[in-house]
Chains A and B, each alone.
Chain A
Amino acid sequence: MTLDQIIEALRTRPRFASHFTAWHTIPERPAEYTRFPSDIDIRLIEALARTGISHLYSHQAEAYRLVRGGSDVVVVTPTASGKTLCYNLPVLDTVLRDPQARALYLFPTKALGADQVDELQTLIRLLGADVRAFTYDGDTPADARRTIRAAGHVVVTNPDMLHTAILPHHTKWLRLFENVRYVVLDELHHYRGVFGSHLANVLRRLARICAFYGSTPQFICCSATIGNPKEHAERLTGRPMAIIDRNGAPSGERVIGFYNPPVVNEQLGIRIDAVRESVTLAGELLGGRVQTIFFARSRLAAELLTTYLRAAAERRSLPAGAICGYRAGYLPSERRKIEAGLRSGAVRAVAATNALELGIDIGQLSAAVLVGYPGTIASTWQQMGRAGRRRERALAILVATSAALDQFIVRHPDYLLRQGAEEARTNPDNLLVLASHLKCAAFELPLRDGETFGPNTLPEILAYLEEARVLHHEDDAWHYVAEAYPAEDVSLRSASQENVVIIDTTDPRPRVIGEIDLASAPAFVHEDAIYIHLGQQYHVDRLDWEERKAYVTRVDVDYYTDAQIATDLRVMAEFGRAEDAAHGEVTVTFRPTIFKKLTLSNHENVGFGTIHLPETTLHTTGAWWVFPRSRAADLDNDALQGALVGVANALHNVAPLYLMCDPRDLGALAETRSPHTGEPTVTLYEQIPGGVGQAERLFSLRGDLLATASSLIEGCGCDAGCPSCVGPVLSLGPDAKRRTLRLLRDVCVPA
């Protein structure tokens, strides 16, 4: 079957047709071409002509023009729109004119950097000029490093290397820093939250070092569609940006289907599992030889998908290698193999997490199935953009889970189609992040009194660091005097700096199969948990918390495990307050209690066990809403608790609609009497130590959030509450839905 026939079948066949809540077609878009700007070096034009490029897309020409004019730019374009030329063109043109000129490219992952160097080197070969481009990352052999430092015109690296290896040794990079003309930041949308907050500080350090060597590089940034690309780029780089957001690249017609799996329990609002249902839909695509990518929301879902898809492929007698999983935590060699398989066509379907959302070159696929709403509108477009070749029709299907956000989206597809993408938030002045980069900055060059590096609270932080014997103040400068190499202790990727290593001990020779961040470890690798990796189930035999090691053995069981964590919250400081709502600094304590065993087939509870792990504490920021006891005098404590949990769940469900974050980046807590407010209170807190600015945003959106939570619950088709709105009726009580709505109505937030 062709893709057209498959689309037709999905639209008409009774098994599927009625569950599609909407179909939407994005028409084909023709290209907008421009002639090469007249001042581009002729060698570059000739080299491009040999690759078949005789014109530029309008956005590429505009980027060239603005960069040549001296502006810092941010280019916002979708997947596969030729954005790399937006920076390669001005960079190569400059190097051809001035062989001393240097450029630094930053990509969020090593894989992306390697891809880019390949592409750049192909172009350079055609140029026939002595231009050298190198990757500099953890895999670069020691003997090659000296050459790269001295002779690399374009150095391609990642923020982590810049942070740990290049900036702290900037004297070895003299040639680069004296002559750096451009800093290229690709996949800008990826640098949000903690990573973005760290990167902004790494760029502050970079600016200091460049200034020391007398250079002021221009920034060329590229981003997928987000709500605030200009502001985001300016916040990261600290520089005013010119924005280029008119995409001149063509795209084929894209058909988008919104699919809500059939209901199995009307009353409880339970639907067929989205993973299962996606595999059923996939049957058509696999049979029709349509290369498809499945995006799952979590590692767990990606692993389940891989397992189920393999079974489906086996029934269709497809070769074993036709189905692959792909997510962070796979070893690089595993990932490279999968990427190559996708390019060659040997891999038919990939079950990925958002690790594949980034611009890794795997070619374009014909269909994308999003198993669950990815959590942000921006991600949705990114993931759907993975399907679609230049001039061919492509299919994207969003399969809703029973999660609230999914149900909201699948019932209001217009929200997705009309509303712009969310805003990327970072908080470069997060105290923990800032302080750790101040150490690194002082290590690189003494900090002068009055020097700016972010906020004006600097002197206090510096004084603190002096007390901690990290800095020494002398005359007008702060010198780094600690022995430790500070960058090593600061991980840019996560707020917590430690991982638990997962070791498979099934075979005589133990083998490391992956890692998990410390915060997630209690939930996923507690003793007796079933951990799933590469579609294989592992039983956790022992978790050595002190050594950060989990020992597992391969098993084949028909259940998975789900951990319960008890949460306690204290408010440390209030940053802002309105009537019945506030935001500020909070401390959250997590105590793992028990885990449930649930069957793979229908999530039935078949047992439980105790988790013996220490409490963990999170210092972060949160926003809270107060529901005065006096306005719910008729509710007893149990009923009130049910209604508050309903509010907490509903707020937690809708908040990601407004924030560019994963639902798991936020935690929610309902208290019938908060020690801080003395009243029934619902708090949403950031899961990232110190917060990345989301709590403040939640506070400023407090009224909108309550209103959207109300409309979510009102619009839900269930009778008495379901996980898609207030939470499962079984755990909240039969009247929870009604009471939650009442509570929301009774809290009057001034408009």
Chain B
Amino acid sequence: MSLPETPVDTLRERLRRYGAGIAPRGRSEPARPPRPSAGSGGGDGVEIVRARYALGHRHGCVEIGASLGWVAEEHACAAAGMVWLDTETTGLAGGTGTYAFLVGLAYVDGGVLVTEQFLLRRLRSEAHLLGAVGERLASRPHLVTFNGLRFDWPILESRFILARQRPASPEVHTDLITPARRLWHRVFGTYRLSMLEAEVIGAPRHDDVPGWLIPGIYVEYLRSGDRTALEPVIAHNRADLLAMVALHGEVLRTLRDLEAARVRFDWEGAGMLLVRRGEHDRAAQCFDRAVDEAAEPRDRWRALRRLSRMYRLTGAEAARCRRLETEVASWQAADLYRVHVLEEVAKLRTRARDLAAARGAAGEALEIASRLGLAGPTVRLSKRLARLSDQMR
């Protein structure tokens, strides 16, 4: 199948024009849409908008080449087998009546990042569009999306079935929403792609069309046939693709070198991601930091419990005891957190047969618990104290 090629300014010219190579840190350059020549594409109902980004292209304060470098380091296949995907749809609820009218793909080709956006100019041409997208995906089995596990991919899967096409499912599907949420939700209070793009990538969008307006714009286009109305949507989709690539790199970079991270992130969340990658020692370091940084007793206790579990998992029993004892010494507030820590410490001291010290910890914990009116801990600690007294007799 041959698809009409949309000529695009050479990337070099564009980079020069926008001064991308010399953009100062922290300042962003909006991704300008390549200008497809009028009427090109769309003759058979599908238009493809292509753009190429050299490795030196900066998105916000991130160099695309650097992002791709982090990705390549993580996944050996990055250059050949990976494709970033983002769709624009006629509805946000999903279901068979939701069309993916714009499918944006980004992948590495010939040493540059290529974006290809497949725009459905006529609904009847959907099978054609899907065929072309399916062909691209077939040779790139590692799919990367932002919320694609729940949204983009199920919709595309539905579209393929409706068009009686059954492409193979991606071999690997990395949904960036999970690491993004773990790393930055608690820090920035959001994990929407455009917000993270501003906070993490340093590329706030100007004149971006809000996502909820997009379905309406497309329906209006179907009625009027006015292609220009779609420009902002195409730009939005391409910005999402670039943001995704950049964010992907930032996620990997952050996890690779935690201390060198450019923006704040959630240590506890990072720890959880590292646990999933099997990096238990580094996860423990993250949780250790999370304990220190937690201001609320509840958060602190949750982080401490995760840390404690990591120590146990890695057999670092001595380190676990040390950490808990340090905690008892340093956290003096007579609150629920201290009750929990003392209770743990009492258990450890009991195991170490230091019964008097164990009784001291349990006794203090019981005193705080009963003062705070905590029913569960009070009962538990009373029993523990009774047992300790028995053992000491």
Knowing A472-B123, A474-B123 are in contact, say whether A171-B222 is a contact too (CB < 8 A).
no
| Chain B residues whose CB sits within 8 angstroms of the CB of A483 once the complex forms | 90-93, 215-216
Closest-CB distance, B229 to chain A (whole angstroms): 15
Complex Cα–Cα for A442 and B90 (A): 14
The answer to whether A168 and B97 have CB atoms under 8 Å apart is: yes
Instruction: Write the nearest CB–CB distance from B340 to chain A, whole angstroms.
Output: 29
Instruction: Tell me, yes or no, whether B162 is within 8 Å of chain A by CB.
Output: yes
| Bound form: Cα–Cα A488–B94 in Å | 12
Task: Give CA–CA (A169, B219) in the complex, Å.
Answer: 22
B219 is contacted by which of A172, A477, A481 (Cβ under 8 Å)? Answer: A481
Partner among B92, B93, B99, B158 whose Cβ is within 8 Å of the Cβ of A171 = B158
Say yes or no: A472 contacts B93, CB within 8 Å. no
Kindly identify, within residues 66 to 109 of chain B, every residue whose CB is under 8 Å from any CB belonging to chain A. Answer: 90-97, 99
Q: Counting CB contacts under 8 A, is A618 at the interface?
A: no
Contact A482 B91, CB 8 Å, known A171-B157, A444-B97, A469-B219: yes
Within 8 A of B (CB), among A175-215: none
Q: Does A479 belong to the interface (CB within 8 Å)?
A: yes
Closest A residue by C-beta to B214? A483
Find out whether the CB atom of B95 lies under 8 angstroms from the CB atom of A443: yes
* Residues of A with C-beta under 8 A to B124: 474-475, 477
B211 CB to closest chain A CB (Å) equals 12
Contact check: which of A172, A174, A469, A486 meets B97 at CB < 8 Å?
A486
Closest CB in chain A relative to B4 CB, distance in Å: 21
Does A458 sit within 8 A of B, measured CB to CB? Answer: no
B122 within 8 A of partner (CB): yes
**B161: CB under 8 A from chain A?**
yes
* Residue of B92, B93, B94, B122 contacting most chain A CB atoms (<10 Å): B93
Q: In the bound complex, do residue A442 and residue B95 qualify as a contact, i.e. CB atoms below 8 Å apart?
A: no
Residue of chain B at shortest CB distance from A476: B124
Whole-angstrom distance between the Cβ of A236 and the nearest chain B Cβ: 24
In the complex, A444→B94 CA distance in Å? 11
Whole-angstrom CA separation of A60 from B351 in the bound complex: 70
The residues of B that contact A481 with a CB separation of less than 8 Å are 90, 99, 218-219, 222
A335 to chain B minimum Cβ distance, whole angstroms, is: 31
Interface centre among A475, A479, A484 (most CB of B within 10 A): A479
Shortest Cβ gap from B163 to chain A (Å): 10
**How far apart are the CA atoms of A483 and B122 in the complex, in Å?**
18
Q: Does B16 contact A (CB under 8 A)?
A: no
Query: A601 to B117, alpha carbons, bound, how many Å?
Result: 77
Query: Do A480 and B97 touch across chains, with their CB atoms under 8 A apart?
Result: yes
Chain B interface bracket (under 10, 10 to 19, 20 to 34, 35 or more):
20 to 34
Contact B93 A485 (CB under 8 A): yes
Using C-beta atoms within 8 Å of the partner chain, give the interface range for chain A.
Answer: 20 to 34
Pair A485/B95 contact, Cβ less than 8 Å = yes
Does B223 make an interface contact (CB < 8 A)?
Answer: yes
Do the beta carbons of A485 and B91 come within 8 Å of each other? yes
How far, in angstroms, from A627 to B123 measured CA to CA in the complex?
Answer: 58
Q: Which residues of B contact A446 (CB under 8 A)?
A: 123
CA distance A192 to B122 in the complex (A): 41
CB distance from A473 to the nearest CB of B (A): 10
> Is the C-beta of A431 less than 8 angstroms from some C-beta in chain B?
no
Q: Which residues of A contact B223 (CB under 8 A)?
A: 472
| Residue A170 interfacial (CB < 8 Å) | yes
A445 within 8 A of B: yes
Given contacts A472-B222, A474-B122, contact A171 B90 (CB under 8 A): no
Shortest Cβ distance from B121 into chain A, in angstroms? 11
State in angstroms the CA–CA spacing of A534 and B110 once bound together: 74
Chain B, residue nearest A477 (CB) = B124
Residues in B neighbouring A488, C-beta threshold 8 A = 93
Across the interface, which residues of A come within 8 angstroms of B218, CB to CB? 481
Please state if A169 and B96 are interface contacts (CB–CB under 8 Å).
yes
The CA-CA distance from A446 to B123 in the complex, in Å, is 10
Q: For the complex, what is the distance from the CA of A551 to the CA of B92, rounded to whole Å?
A: 35
Among B157-183, those with CB < 8 Å from A are 157-158, 161-162
Chain A 454-493 residues near chain B, CB threshold 8 A: 469, 472, 474-475, 477, 479-486, 488
Determine the distance from Cα of A631 to Cα of B223 in the docked complex, in whole angstroms: 60
CA distance A443 to B158 in the complex (A): 12
CB-CB nearest in chain B for A488: B93
Write the chain B residue with the least CB distance to A443. Answer: B97
List, in ascending order, chain B residues with CB within 8 A of A469's CB. Answer: 219
Contacts of B96 in A (CB 8 A): 168-171, 443-445
Do A484 and B219 form a contact, CB below 8 Å, given A171-B161, A479-B123?
no
B95 to chain A, nearest CB (A): 4
Which A residues are in CB contact (< 8 Å) with B92? 483
The residues of A that contact B94 with a CB separation of less than 8 Å are 169, 485
Q: Decide if B216 touches A174 in the complex (CB within 8 Å).
A: no
Q: With A171-B157, A472-B222 as given contacts, are A484 and B122 in contact (CB-CB < 8 Å)?
A: no
Q: How far is the CB of A258 from chain B (nearest CB, A)?
A: 54
Please state if A169 and B97 are interface contacts (CB–CB under 8 Å): no
Chain B nearest CB, measured from A149 CB (Å) = 12
The interface residues of chain B lying within 8 Å CB-to-CB of A174 are 161
Q: Report the Cα distance A170→B219, complex, angstroms.
A: 24
CA distance in complex: A477, B92 (Å): 23
Q: A398–B162 Cα gap in the complex (Å)?
A: 56
Query: Nearest chain A CB to B25's CB is how many angstroms away?
Result: 40
Q: Which residues of B contact A172 (CB under 8 A)?
A: 154, 158
Expressed in whole angstroms, the minimum distance between the Cβ of A399 and any Cβ of chain B is 50
Minimum distance in angstroms from A431 CB to a CB of chain B: 22
Within the complex, the shortest CB–CB distance from A480 to chain B, in Å, comes to 4
Residues in A neighbouring B123, C-beta threshold 8 A: 446, 472, 474, 477, 479
Complexed CA–CA distance, A169 and B95 (Å): 5
Nearest-neighbor residue (CB-CB) of B93 within chain A:
A485
Give the CA-CA distance A437 to B169 in the complex, in Å.
33
CA distance A484 to B91 in the complex (A): 7
Within 8 A of A (CB), among B122-157: 122-124, 154, 157
Could you say which residues of chain B place their CB within 8 Å of the CB of A474?
A: 122-124, 222
Bound Cα distance A170, B91 (Å): 17
What's the least CB distance linking B125 to chain A, in Å?
10
Question: Whole-angstrom distance between the alpha carbons of A632 and B99 in the complex?
Answer: 66
Chain B residues in 8 Å Cβ range of A168: 95-97
Determine the residue in chain A with the shortest Cβ distance to B212.
A483
A170–B157 Cα distance when bound, in Å, is: 12
The residues of A that contact B161 with a CB separation of less than 8 Å are: 171, 174
Within 8 A of A (CB), among B227-256: none
> Nearest Cβ in chain B — how far from A580, in angstroms?
49
Question: A446's closest neighbor in chain B, by CB?
Answer: B123
CA–CA, A477 to B99, complex, Å? Answer: 15
**Cα-based distance from A488 to B92 in the complex (angstroms):** 14
User: Which residue of chain B has its CB nearest to the CB of A168?
Assistant: B95
Which residues does chain A contribute within 8 Å of B93, judged by CB atoms?
Answer: 483-485, 488
The closest CB in chain B to the CB of A439 belongs to B97
A338, chain B: closest CB distance, angstroms: 35
Bound complex: CA of A482 vs CA of B91, how far in Å? Answer: 7
Contact, CB under 8 Å: B97 / A171: no
Q: Closest CB-CB distance, A374 to chain B, in whole Å?
A: 40
A485 to B98 CA separation, bound complex (whole angstroms): 9
What are the residues of chain B within 8 A of A170 when measuring CB–CB?
96
In the bound assembly, the distance between CA atoms of A445 and B161 in angstroms comes to 11
Chain A residue, CB-CB nearest to B95: A168
A479 to B91 alpha-carbon distance, docked (Å) = 13
Contacts of B215 in A (CB 8 A): 483
Query: In the assembled complex, which residues on chain A have CB atoms less than 8 Å from the CB atom of B122?
Result: 474
> Nearest Cβ in chain B — how far from A234, in angstroms?
28
Question: Complex Cα distance A477/B97, Å?
Answer: 13
Q: List 18 A-B contacts (CB under 8 A).
A: A168-B96, A168-B97, A171-B96, A171-B161, A172-B158, A174-B161, A444-B96, A444-B97, A469-B219, A474-B124, A474-B222, A479-B123, A481-B90, A482-B91, A483-B91, A483-B93, A485-B93, A488-B93
The 5 A-B residue pairs whose C-beta atoms are closest, nearest first, are: A443-B97, A485-B93, A480-B97, A171-B158, A171-B161
- 15 additional contacts (CB under 8 A) given A170-B96, A484-B91, A488-B93: A169-B94, A169-B95, A169-B158, A171-B96, A445-B162, A474-B222, A477-B124, A479-B99, A480-B97, A481-B218, A482-B219, A483-B90, A483-B91, A483-B216, A486-B97
